[in-house]
Amino acid sequence: MVFLNSYVLIIVMSKSVSKKIRNICVKYLMSEANIEEMEILENWLKQPKNRLLFTKYTRINFAVELNMNPFDKDQSIRNFLDIIKKNRLNSRKQRIFKVTRYAAVALIGMIVSTYFFKDEVFDVSNKAILETSSQNIIEPGTDKAILTIEDGSKIKLVKGKSIQIQNASSKGNKLSYKSSPGTTKNIVYHSLKIPRGGQYFIKLSDGTNIWLNSETHLRYPVSFIEGETRVVELIYGEAYFEVSPSTKLNGSRFKVISQSQEVEVLGTEFNIKAYKNENLTYTTLVEGKVDVNSKGVKRRLKPNQQLSLNIKTDQLNISFVDVFSEISWKDGIFSFEDKSLHDIMKVISRWYDIEVVFEDENVKKEEFFGLLRKDQELEKIMFTIKEYGIIENYEFNNKILTIK
């Protein structure tokens, strides 16, 4: 897979297209589709209306000219790509029309390593994007945090700046604590606060890895008492935990306290989203086993399950989810599986540290399917969304984005 720097890619897929086909299209463009999936896509493309859909929704994908590497040299795959290429060439004369607001946005800023889009198939004006971007450059978030140590002192952690304290060190994008089990009952706590427009990675003294999303606050011990339950507190925000197994630490369990719940684990990977000023918290299990306890009610999650908790009504609900969509943020991608524009803009506002205002309340409800690469300038994303007719217009005023 080849990552493209500074490019925006969007695919729009109508909800009339099955979820299975949408997923295969995404995997194909990411060079991750297997032979069976490519055969399914090829059969789907035999229908003229499907070929038109596929071509229409992919030929505006790139806002700038791309230099691509050849795809797979396997002859069967090249033959398949030739079929798609012919379909694209045959449909060039078809007029590209804007999709309705009921269409679904699929891929923003994704990754391709194929010669599929080498030719001149761009309907979006490169010049227009560049000119508009130069006027409204809102950069994406970056690695930054504020560390509060035991005496209340605050230390800014930013990309490119190294710090060294007694128990930990940072080179700008990662804070690592020394492996040193505590021998007394007096536990020393540090806290890490991630501002809007930030993200950070921390490795605790027990070897647990934690990815922290924008607008997140975590409190944790500098070292843990050997043999006792390890407890950290997600005061608010979103964090992905890769917990060091209890089998390596004399059976010490691991517990995360967050809004109105406790999550207890033995050794596993899971995600907790518990933002302040939001009624729902979400605990998503990737692998292993966790028990979620809320006001005396305990639920056990299986891998690929998510527990949602309404902190106002105390209602619990467990469902199976697409784990990739829930945890991709830690790997530089925001994934939106049939999310409303309102929910998408909550994520956008935290990452770009902006305020979003909707002039038309109805636009908030439109649901989209898509992925967003986190290192894109916001203007490029909004420009392309507008070109697809999903919104009428937008404007920036300092750090306020108004959607019309």
Q: pTM, whole model, 2 decimals?
A: 0.73
> Which of 267, 269, 293 is CA-nearest to residue 281?
293
DSSP of 213-237:
-SSEEEEEESS-BTTSPEEEEEEEE
Three-class SS state of 134: helix
Domains present along the chain, CATH in parentheses: 12-138+331-403 (3.55.50.30), 143-321 (2.60.120.1440)
Q: Provide the H-helix boundaries in 11-73.
A: 19-29, 35-44, 48-58
Query: What's the rounded Cα separation, in Å, for the pair 209 and 292?
Result: 20
Residue 55 has φ and ψ, to the nearest 5°, of -70, -45
Task: Please report the sign of the dihedral spanned by the C-alpha atoms of residue 32, residue 38, residue 41, residue 47.
Answer: positive
> Which of 107, 100, 104 is CA-nearest to residue 26?
107
Whether the CB-CB separation of 179 and 167 falls below 8 Å is answered with no
Burial (CB count within 10 angstroms: exposed 0-12, middle 13-18, buried 19+), residue 67: exposed
Q: Structure tokens of 35?
A: 């032979």
Query: Would you give per-residue pLDDT tens digits along the chain (404 residues)?
Result: 223 333 334 444 555 567 788 777 767 766 667 778 888 888 888 887 777 667 655 543 333 223 333 333 344 344 444 544 444 444 333 322 222 222 223 333 332 222 222 232 333 344 444 455 445 678 899 999 999 999 999 999 998 889 999 889 998 889 999 987 665 677 899 999 999 999 999 999 999 999 999 999 999 999 998 888 999 999 999 999 999 988 778 778 899 999 889 999 877 899 999 999 899 999 999 999 999 999 889 999 999 999 999 999 999 999 999 888 899 899 888 887 778 889 989 999 999 999 999 998 888 887 766 677 788 888 878 886 777 677 889 999 889 999 98
